[in-house]
Amino acid sequence: MKAAVVHAFDRPPRYEDFAAPAPGDDELQVRVTAAALHPIVRAFASGKHYGSTGQLPLIPGIDGVGTLNDGSRVYFGAAHPPYGSLAEHSLTTRAFTLRIPDAIDPSIDDASVAALMNPAMSSWAALTERARFQPGESVLIQGATGTAGKLAVQICRRRGASRIVVTGRDPQKLDELRSLGADAVIPLTQDRAALVEAFRDALATQKIDIVLDYLWGPPAEVLLDAIAQKGLDHQTRRLRYIQIGSAAGPSIPLPAATLRSSGLELLGSGFGSVSLDRILASLAVFFQEALREPFRIDIQTAPLPDIEKLWDEKTGARLVFLP
């Protein structure tokens, strides 16, 4: 079969022949029709993701859309390294497939489903499984101008958030987030002192209950500085801070006083902190919501043979490859 194949962690995958997968016990072979290039896919292909095994060669891709041998159309999670989803065929398990109805909104085609599920899972599972979100709570989304952040705004609004505050660097994209449901924006281009004050004002006036952080790194340091309390006469408010992505940096210094002086609860959300069966359960509920009323997402499709030249391309849309 043809597939995108990674031979070295510091080079893009090449489109070439690769031995077709043979399903083992409890495995299913999928004929792939669409698979997206998510940030986590690049992280695995570079060997930098905490879930990477270091095994080479490998086919990248963690999920996709395709058909099973019985003809059923499914969303699937790739299950058996080295067979990722960026190939003509992949492997999955019955437990990590969602049946896609034949009669659905035409805007939810294979490419749309492939693009949508992973970035949507990042906030849906974080809200459901880690933050235990309740309608009426307020949310601050750190780094909301990317695909996952834009979906997070829509998901928070759809699930009944009372207030949604978003951060980002691009003024045009921040304005766009208002049309998706954001109530207030905080530009990250301000100097540190001004940004700390902007965060403190949002935390106090918007009464933030949950932070969804796609950035980490320096922006998280500033936000945590704003969360830290000085003096002994303040009233502590519970704040669930959910760490989802690290687009701005993999680590931060965290003063002990930040935890002791506030109602901060610092949690992570991702593979490992949420079990695969709970992730799938969250995805199933999200997918039903998407079928009821589609979410807005920008998509760019390309043939899989173009993967090497498009691998490092930065666009505002989620790139989906069609084998």
Rounded to whole angstroms, the Cα distance separating 181 from 141 reads: 12
Residue 87 CA from chain centroid, whole number: 22
Q: Would the pLDDT of 6 be above 70?
A: yes
| Residue matched to tokens 């006083």 | 257
Which domains are delineated in the chain? Answer: 2-108+298-322 (3.90.180.10), 118-268 (3.40.50.720)
Amino acid, single-letter form, for residue 107: S
Q: Would the pLDDT of 92 be above 80?
A: yes
- Give the pLDDT band of residue 106 (cuts 50, 70, 90): low
- State phi, psi for 33 to the nearest 5 degrees: -110, -20
Amino acid, single-letter form, for residue 44: F
Angle, helices 192-205 vs 217-227, to 10°: value is: 50
pLDDT at res. 81: 84
Tens digit of each residue's pLDDT (9 = 90 or more) over 237-295:
899 999 999 999 999 999 998 998 889 999 999 888 888 888 888 888 998 899 888 89
- Give the pLDDT band of residue 104 (cuts 50, 70, 90): low
Tens digit of each residue's pLDDT (9 = 90 or more) over 202-225:
998 989 999 999 999 999 999 999
**What global pTM score does this model have?**
0.91
Q: Would the pLDDT of 100 be above 80?
A: yes
pLDDT at res. 111: 94
